[in-house]
Amino acid sequence: MISRKPLVLGNKNYETVTKDICSLVETFPSPMYYLGMGGAQFLLLLYLFAQGMIVWYGMGMMGVNHPVGWGTDIITFVFWIGIGHAGTLISAILFLFRQKWRTSIARSAEAMTVFAVMTAGTFPVLHTGRPWLAYWLLPYPNQRGPLWVNFRSPLVWDVFAVSTYATVSAVFWYIGMVPDLATIRDRAINKWRKRIYGMLSLGWRGTARNWNHYEMVYMLLCGLSTPLVLSVHSIVSFDFAVASLPGWHTTIFPPYFVAGAIFSGFAMVVTLMCIIREVVPVFKDYITLEHMEAMNKIIMTTGLMVGYAYGSEFFIAWYSGSEYEGFTFLNRAFGPYWWSYWIMVSCNVFIPQLFWFRFFRRNIPWMFVISIFVNIGMWFERFVITVTSLHRDFLPSNWGMWVPTLYDFGALFGSFGLFFTLFLLYIRLMPAISIAEVKPVLTVGREGAHGHH
Amino acid sequence: MDIIEKLIHAARPKSRRGVAGIWLDEHKLVAAARKVREAGYTKFEAITPFPLHGIDEAMGIPFSWIPWVTLTFCLTGFAFGTWFTWWASAVDWPLIIGGKPMWSLPAFVPIMFECTILFGALASVGALLYICGLPQIDPPVIDPALSSHKFGLFIPEDDTGYNQAAVEKLLKDNGAVEVKRAEF
């Protein structure tokens, strides 16, 4: 019989689990943490400066112009939204599939979702050029008629999808944390810590009757988040697919975008977990090599799906017999932006193949590097879709090139500062592993304990 | 006593007095909860650091009714999304866009879907907070370790057939490592 591997190492009991996970909130962090926070703050300042200049002087600061009207803002928006998807996949879909290994990474993956969606949300708002009028995107009663938004537009679908996703994943994340915040409150000796975590925990006391409803709501939220997460990136893909531009107007886009989102999201989870394991050594017992290996397998699988989509797109471009479609794909691979196409293919299809080997799946430095490559590759995937389709469409007189400015780079790299600042604050201030969810899986793979339920 | 303490004190929920027992082993707690229920108590509470499987059955806790709230609000959200897109696009200010019909239903499906999920999710969480009586300001805690590694049972004074000596004996006989008078 194949024995189950333990999900938590170090022979923990309930008390040590509580202590380990709360220790991060209750003690001062390591120098590594401050180093990371310093880097994140620097990038955040860069972001504020770049976006501030763009808002002040206008969109002309960025590279967007005719014919490429969608540049860094839209590419990076899709990139960050995609990152968010793995969090919901881990926390909701793996929960519904009863994958117990998800428990120790679910909380941080969900936090990643929330922060990635927040970071993503800033981009389309700033891309409007006049972000102070961004509320026009919402259908609110107004004095212009009222003139409603155009519900037939994919951009309005996107507003609904992303704002629903942000709301539901934030609520899901918070509700999941309530019992653990109560644990921190009960352990608090400091008066202010007790008050603040007491407020955040909403006065949760963990009675059996409350847990009964709580577990039900948790499952319901998983059930609602699952179709939601699939819809969000489908709708993001509609932003492209509903337009009649060659390279965008394809039915493969929704599943292709969702697979790519999960792929890039898992890569980001691996990146973050490698960092957390270094910053908080005690978490190595909870986020074990088994977890990392499982995620690397998913990266490889979804990488193959993405590779299949690249091949399928090319095939259909030829098989459809459409001259424009065929040209667009040849132009992607061999036109002026050929390098971006091959960066995308190398990072997303070739490099993850290393995960066929157990050595790479279980080696932290290697998987960290590979996950970074996947992140780069997935940013370039969105670059290829957005820029190479727009820059040469039907009429050669309508062709042009897109050249980024320093502000494009500032907005892109700076957004990592926003994301990592939020994420590092979170692991310092919130229970970064679900205390209440890890305890029931302590016995998995342990002989001589109370056995399985 | 500073002003915040005073405010917390004023807003604190009314607590019940009774007897609490503490266990270190969750399996013994489930067995004890079954015994307490068999002894005829109905208003007692089990306090655990994580959801304990088998406790619902041992205490006779019925299946949660929150799914009905979710279903109702999902349907409400769906109906709202359908009605609002139709009313705004075909009734209140009809505009021909892209040569599509005024009520272009397929184009409204994403909005209808998102409204379904949003209403259902928020209503489920609202129902959870309502039924658990949350948020509560600084409710009494029997033992801070009950949210970490200990498991408790609390039998309130107003429960049917409450008798302090009998309750204390019942909890001790069922393996409680600590039995004390408590507020909850």
Give the burial class of A453: count Cβ atoms within 10 A of its Cβ; 0-12 exposed, 13-18 middle, 19 or more buried.
exposed
CA dist A432 and A412 (Å) reads: 27
The pLDDT mean for chain A works out to 91
Residues 6 or more apart from A138 whose CB is under 8 A from it? A149, A159
Check if A219 contacts B (Cβ < 8 Å): no
Domain extents in chain B: 3-62+136-183, 66-131
Residues in chain B with CB shorter than 8 Å from the CB of A157 are 110-111, 114
Whose CA is closest to B110, among A154, A256, A149?
A154
Q: Is the pLDDT of residue B96 over 80?
A: yes
CA dist B78 and B113 (Å) reads: 7
Identify from B1, B76, B125, B132 which residue to disrupt to test chain A contact, counting A C-beta atoms within 10 A and taking the largest count.
B132
Helices (H), B12-149: 26-38, 55-59, 66-86, 105-131
Can you give the CATH number for the domain in which A52 is found? Answer: 1.20.1630.10
Position A13 scores a pLDDT of 86
Question: Is the Cβ pair A18, B148 closer than 8 Å?
Answer: yes
- Into how many domains does chain A fold? 1
Question: Residue written as tokens 């988040």?
Answer: A225
Q: Is the pLDDT of residue A372 over 70?
A: yes
Identify from A17, A142, A180, A207 which residue to disrupt to test chain B contact, counting B C-beta atoms within 10 A and taking the largest count.
A207
Q: Is the pLDDT of residue A445 over 80?
A: no
Position A32 scores a pLDDT of 86
The one-letter amino acid at A428: R
Check if A452 contacts B (Cβ < 8 Å): no
Mean pLDDT of A194-201: 92
Residues in chain B with CB shorter than 8 Å from the CB of A168 are 117-118, 121-122
Residue A5 maps to a domain: no
The H or E element that residue A117 is part of is helix A103-127
Position B134 scores a pLDDT of 85
Give the burial class of A321: count Cβ atoms within 10 A of its Cβ; 0-12 exposed, 13-18 middle, 19 or more buried.
exposed
Residues 6 or more apart from B172 whose CB is under 8 A from it? B21, B179
Check if A142 contacts B (Cβ < 8 Å): no
The helix-helix angle for A406-429 and A31-57 (nearest 10°) equals: 140
Mean pLDDT of B87-113: 91
Position A442 scores a pLDDT of 84
The answer for A32, left when phi > 0, alpha when psi is -120 to 50, beta otherwise, is alpha
CA dist A383 and A388 (Å) reads: 7
Q: pTM for the complete prediction? A: 0.93
Q: Are strands B45-47 and B151-156 parallel, antiparallel or unpaired?
A: antiparallel
Owning domain of residue A171 = 14-441
Position B176 scores a pLDDT of 86
Question: Is the Cβ pair B56, A213 closer than 8 Å?
Answer: no
The one-letter amino acid at A310: Y
List B residues 82-101 in contact with A (Cβ-Cβ < 8 A).
84-85, 88-89, 92-93, 95, 97-98, 100
End-to-end CA distance of chain A: 18
* CB contact at 8 A, A179 and A436: yes
Residues 6 or more apart from A140 whose CB is under 8 A from it? none
* H helix count then E strand count, chain B: 6, 4
The 3-state DSSP class for residue B146 equals helix
Check if A145 contacts B (Cβ < 8 Å): yes
Residues 6 or more apart from B161 whose CB is under 8 A from it? B40, B41
Cα-based distances in Å from B7 to A444, B3, B32, B136, B137: 46, 6, 38, 13, 10
Residues in chain A with CB shorter than 8 Å from the CB of B130 are none
Q: Is the pLDDT of residue B113 over 90?
A: yes
Whose CA is closest to A289, among A7, A17, A1, A4?
A7
Question: Is the Cβ pair A183, B148 closer than 8 Å?
Answer: yes
Check if A26 contacts B (Cβ < 8 Å): no
Residues in chain B with CB shorter than 8 Å from the CB of A205 are 47, 139, 141, 146-147
Question: Residue written as tokens 């359908």?
Answer: B82
Position A98 scores a pLDDT of 86
Categorize the per-residue pLDDT at A452 as very low, low, confident or very high, splitting at 50, 70 and 90. very low
The helix-helix angle for A364-383 and A338-345 (nearest 10°) equals: 140
DSSP state of A207: B
Position A1 scores a pLDDT of 57
Count chain A–chain B contacts defined by CB atoms under 8 A. Answer: 192
Position B2 scores a pLDDT of 78
Quick count: other Cβ atoms within 10 Å of Cβ A71? 24
Residue A8 maps to a domain: no
Per-residue pLDDT tens digits for A315-343: 999 999 999 999 999 999 999 999 999 99
Per-residue pLDDT tens digits for A279-304: 888 889 999 999 999 999 999 999 99
Whose CA is closest to A315, among B87, A88, A307, B147?
A307
Query: According to the 3-state scheme, what is the secondary structure of A2-52?
Result: CCCCCCCCCCCCHHHHHHHHHHHHHCCCCHHHHHHHHHHHHHHHHHHHHHH
CATH number belonging to domain B3-62+136-183: 3.30.70
Categorize the per-residue pLDDT at A453 as very low, low, confident or very high, splitting at 50, 70 and 90. very low
The H or E element that residue B23 is part of is strand B17-23
Q: Is the pLDDT of residue B82 over 60?
A: yes
Q: Is the pLDDT of residue B178 over 60?
A: yes
Whose CA is closest to A318, among A307, A333, A329?
A329
Q: Is the pLDDT of residue A145 over 50?
A: yes
Question: Is the Cβ pair A202, B134 closer than 8 Å?
Answer: yes
Q: Could you tell me what percent of chain A has a pLDDT over 90? A: 77
Q: Is the pLDDT of residue B63 over 50?
A: yes
* CB contact at 8 A, A298 and A347: no
Per-residue pLDDT tens digits for A217-268: 999 999 999 999 999 999 999 999 999 999 999 999 999 999 999 999 999 9
Quick count: other Cβ atoms within 10 Å of Cβ A253? 22
Per-residue pLDDT tens digits for A8-64: 888 888 889 999 889 888 888 888 889 999 999 999 999 999 999 999 999 999 999
